[in-house]
Chain A
Amino acid sequence: MINRRIFLKHSGLALVAGGLIPSVFVRMAQAGTTKGKKVLVAIFQRGAVDGLNVVVPYGESDYYSARPTIAVPRPGSGDQAALDLDGFFGLHPAMVSLLPYFKDHSAAFVHAVGSPDTTRSHFDAQDFMESGTPGVKSTEDGFLARAVSARKETNASPLRAVALSPAMPRILSGNAGAVAMTNIGQFGIRAGAESGQIQSSFESMYAEAVSGALGGTAKESFEAAKILKNADPVKLQPENGATYPNGALANSLKQIAQLIKSDVGLEVAFADVGGWDTHAGEGGAQGQLANNLRNFADAIAAFTKDLGSRMGDVVLVTMSEFGRTVRENGNRGTDHGHANFMFAIGGGVKGGKVHGKWPGLSSQQLYENRDLAVTTDFRDVFGELVTKQLGVASLKQVFPGYDANPSKWRGVLA
């Protein structure tokens, strides 16, 4: 509760001082009343986003020598320049919509974070990050699913864990009773006047006949469909003047906001967004990556604005399977690398800071002489988040076999 007030206070004061955010957000923030549950929203940037061009280490000359055509210029060098964060790191200029939240201390980055596993395979690295067990392929469920099921709740909502995705992502597979959907307004049987009866017919077919994955899925589907039908979240329009950009991520976040606002018991939401595998023609301040980043940042900014004071109960965090090579390749792009960044915004985030330990970019500091080294295990960021935001008591079950020691946390949340 205290965390949330801090978030709101910061939001209001700093924003007014900076004059960066429309006043309607300030009013929402000052109102300061929320009644929702704590929610964790996780976004996966699939394809390995180039973190060095997102949180730009402009203080390193090696950054500029490694990237002659795709580096983002230093702050103050014109309108294409990086946006200064802390005197050393700068934000990609296409992400300007998130800058005010960083400046008012409600958003933060962690840099040089990643998986200790050395794989540069998208598939394996995503798999390891979602299972939460780098190097162990036999893990059957996802770590967010384990985090949800670690919180025993009597009367848990069928919508406590939702993936905005056509198939259940690895990260929420397991015993969390998570549901996957792409359109919360069309989640149910649609067969005209008889929809209700037909749905109950299917319900009894699946309830009595099927064990295993199919039976469980069916039960969760029908229960979630009933709740959504009653709550009718899609009637909720974006608030506080928020305008979502086009695109899949914005569409997902808009629906997550609707779920949060309709109090259907959401605790964990997940969405993913692709298009980050920039092997060729990546661009610098402008171009392919810039366009994707603008859409990405604008979607998150719209979500934050839309939720207004409710954002005090929400933490949104982003991840990507690995970073990209420090040096640009022969096609003005980057190949698969190692460490990357994470972004967090919301109530209780210790914002205005790039957390973590910066390993440096000189040749001898690089991992295998090519990649940013990992200095923070992604499990230490998520360990902190699921403990503080979701109230998970023990991380043993969430990250089996890992020494999840709070002393390794980076202090991303208050």
Chain B
Amino acid sequence: MKRFLIVATSLLLLSAAASDSKLSDRQRALHALNRLGFGARPGDVDRVLKTGVDTWIDQQLHPEVIPDRAVEARLQSLPTLQMSDADIMQKYYRPIAEARKENKQARNDGELDVKGKGEMRMLQKNAQQIVGDLVSQRIIRAAESDRQLNEVMVDFWFNHFNVFVGKGIDRFMLTSYERDVIRPHIWGRFEDLLLATAKSPAMLFYLDNARSVADPANRPQMAQRFMMRRNPQQANRGGLNENYAREIMELHTLGVDGGYTQKDVTELARVLTGWTIAQPQQGGGFVFRRALHDTGSKTVLGVRFPAGGGMEEGEKMIHILAHSPATAHHIAYKLAQRLVADDPPSSLVDRVAKRFLESDGDLRQTVKAVIDSPEFWDAKYYQAKVKSPFEYAISAVRAIDGQVTDARPIARELQKIGEPLYGAQPPTGYSDKADVWVNTGALLNRLNFALALAANKMPGVRSDVVALIPADSAADPHKSVDALAQALTGGDLSEATRTTIRDRLVERKAPDMDPWDNTQIPMIAGLILGSPEFQKQ
């Protein structure tokens, strides 16, 4: 018993010592680059130190002050990025829809398809341009933009308000969803972001609110009478769809334990009837259709709406949801989980939630509250979070100073490692808890990615890892490896990793070889990028 106590006490002392120990300046810079960005490019740590870590963070929190012209110029070559929903629909969806219609008509007339399979495939292939451009801009920006925190937050908020690329015509709507709904709002107020998603065609379609309409008995009487005269069959159709009403509370705001009931879900669905898309197949925007709105009285979360209301009911509920303490806690928890630790300490979450409420949901201040916290800089969280597949792949590209000439092959690799961009089917998006990414198949795919990338065999990425080794180290194998490790990881390699790499060098060295065989360098770089240390941030 006594011995146990001694052991326990010394363990306590040890862990206290670990969490008391301060990060060095270099570690602080690397930590910031990892958690607030997609890892360091060679020389980044020195650059951040020169600017000052705090100043660098301040700039990252105001991305508009960071020049980004080179990246913007590159994105000019992706033609669909600036297109409106209407133009995208017109150019890419209409031909498909019309071809289908022609074929259907022909079949009804007992004739052969007008458009053959090959032609249909061509049309579908043309349409792949849209998603191809979209994944490309995300990868290029994450890998090359100096607005690193901005890209981290785009990833975070898109995922929070996830829309799945594979649902119906959503693939034609994601371009404007990310560009006009997510990106412009991530440094503003949460309510504005929430409202923008609520009115976005992509979300209205994804979570079916566009199709949720009042029961005929609860519609405005004039409108119903008018519709009955025009088309009685259609006028009698319709009813609630609860999908969005549930997810806006469970996932976007209050959280699953946020204190709402099934009755609240149904009532909120009634409140949100009439929130729909003007003409989805022509890329129309948001419209409130009074004729489809439930005009009966409703009560959501204790808030009573008398009969006869309209769109203001939904706006009021969105305001209430955005300002709820449950929402503040939910958002704070998710941000802390993403930026600090899989199981964030409640002291941190509470403090961030408080800042969220006090600042009227100011997202810049809320994120700043996470970064300014002692927990963010606590040594026990340094290099302690496993990277998500996206973080891993991009940080590897950055580490070897890779130039992305075509981002689509990287997008395909992300699929193999388990995180296809825009490919999360459920509204929950991908997990911010990094542990879920650590599994057998994905790990091997990460290692294979690392080896291919470092060997310059990854299509679409150009790199030269040998060039990362300074001239004064290049002649000596061990100095070369050390310099390479320094360039790729900031030098934080474990003894086991070092030993393994040293052993590989010995194995490969031919006795009569002088100077040494530096064709091994890409393989060594692959081992470093695949190492356990590089899996973490």
Name the segment of B144-152, B367-375, B398-406, B436-444 touching the other chain.
Answer: B436-444
Residues 160-177 of chain A: 1 if any B CB is under 8 Å from the residue's CB, otherwise 0?
A: 000000111000000000
Contact B426–A122 (Cβ < 8 Å): yes
Using a Cβ–Cβ cut-off of 8 Å, how many residues does chain A contribute to the interface with B? 55
Given A168-B439, A204-B500, A330 contacting B211 (CB threshold 8 A): yes
Name the segment of B108-116, B238-246, B318-326, B331-339 touching the other chain.
Answer: B238-246
Residues 238-270 of chain B: 1 if any A CB is under 8 Å from the residue's CB, otherwise 0?
A: 111111001000110000100000100100000
In the assembly, what is the distance between CA of A121 and CA of B257, in Å?
A: 11
**Residues of chain A with a CB closer than 8 A to B452's CB:** 191
In the assembly, what is the distance between CA of A209 and CA of B497, in Å?
A: 7
In the assembly, what is the distance between CA of A282 and CA of B532, in Å?
A: 46
In the assembly, what is the distance between CA of A225 and CA of B441, in Å?
A: 9
In the assembly, what is the distance between CA of A319 and CA of B65, in Å?
A: 52
B530 interfacial contact with A, CB 8 Å: yes
Partner of B444 from A187, A213, A279 at Cβ < 8 Å: A187
A179 interfacial contact with B, CB 8 Å: yes
Contact B447–A202 (Cβ < 8 Å): yes
In the assembly, what is the distance between CA of A208 and CA of B241, in Å?
A: 54
B213 interfacial contact with A, CB 8 Å: yes
CB distance from B158 to the nearest CB of A (A): 18
What are the nearest 6 A-B pairs in CB distance? A330-B239, A208-B496, A181-B441, A168-B439, A166-B418, A209-B496
Of residues 183 through 200 on chain A, the ones whose CB sits less than 8 Å from some CB of chain B are 187-191, 194, 197-198
Given A123-B426, A201-B500, A191 contacting B208 (CB threshold 8 A): no
CB distance from A223 to the nearest CB of B (A): 10
Give 17 A-B contacts (CB < 8 Å), ordered by A residue. Answer: A123-B256, A123-B428, A166-B415, A166-B416, A187-B444, A190-B448, A191-B455, A198-B527, A201-B500, A209-B495, A209-B497, A274-B426, A331-B238, A333-B208, A335-B240, A335-B241, A336-B246
CB distance from A114 to the nearest CB of B (A): 16
**Residues of chain A with a CB closer than 8 A to B497's CB:** 205, 209
Residues 492-515 of chain B: 1 if any A CB is under 8 Å from the residue's CB, otherwise 0?
A: 001111011101100100000000
Contact A180–B256 (Cβ < 8 Å): no
B96 interfacial contact with A, CB 8 Å: no
Contact A206–B532 (Cβ < 8 Å): yes
A124 interfacial contact with B, CB 8 Å: yes
Given A214-B438, A225-B444, A280-B241, A330 contacting B535 (CB threshold 8 A): no
In the assembly, what is the distance between CA of A182 and CA of B426, in Å?
A: 19
In the assembly, what is the distance between CA of A209 and CA of B213, in Å?
A: 58
In the assembly, what is the distance between CA of A214 and CA of B496, in Å?
A: 15
CB distance from B500 to the nearest CB of A (A): 5
Partner of A198 from B426, B499, B523 at Cβ < 8 Å: B523
Contact A166–B500 (Cβ < 8 Å): no
- B interface, how many residues as a size bin? 35 or more
Contact B440–A209 (Cβ < 8 Å): no
Contact B442–A189 (Cβ < 8 Å): no
Q: Which of A178, A181, A329 lies at the interface centre, i.e. has the most chain B CB atoms within 10 A of its CB? A: A329
B212 interfacial contact with A, CB 8 Å: yes
**Residues of chain B with a CB closer than 8 A to A368's CB:** 262
Contact B439–A167 (Cβ < 8 Å): yes
Partner of B523 from A188, A190, A194, A221 at Cβ < 8 Å: A194
B residues lining the A interface (CB < 8 Å): 208, 211-213, 215, 237-243, 246, 250-251, 256, 262, 265, 386, 415-418, 425-428, 435-444, 447-448, 451-452, 455, 494-497, 499-501, 503-504, 507, 523, 526-527, 530-533, 535-536
Partner of A187 from B386, B441, B535 at Cβ < 8 Å: B441
**Residues of chain A with a CB closer than 8 A to B500's CB:** 201, 204-205, 208
In the assembly, what is the distance between CA of A210 and CA of B383, in Å?
A: 13
Contact A209–B451 (Cβ < 8 Å): no
Given A180-B442, A181-B440, A221-B443, A201 contacting B241 (CB threshold 8 A): no
Given A180-B442, A191-B526, A331-B208, A120 contacting B436 (CB threshold 8 A): no
A220 interfacial contact with B, CB 8 Å: yes
CB distance from A259 to the nearest CB of B (A): 14
In the assembly, what is the distance between CA of A224 and CA of B444, in Å?
A: 11
Contact A331–B211 (Cβ < 8 Å): yes
Contact A166–B237 (Cβ < 8 Å): no
**Residues of chain B with a CB closer than 8 A to A121's CB:** 246, 250, 256
In the assembly, what is the distance between CA of A200 and CA of B497, in Å?
A: 12
In the assembly, what is the distance between CA of A189 and CA of B241, in Å?
A: 48
**Residues of chain B with a CB closer than 8 A to A277's CB:** 243
Contact B241–A274 (Cβ < 8 Å): no
**Residues of chain B with a CB closer than 8 A to A118's CB:** 262
Residue of B at shortest CB range from A220? Answer: B440
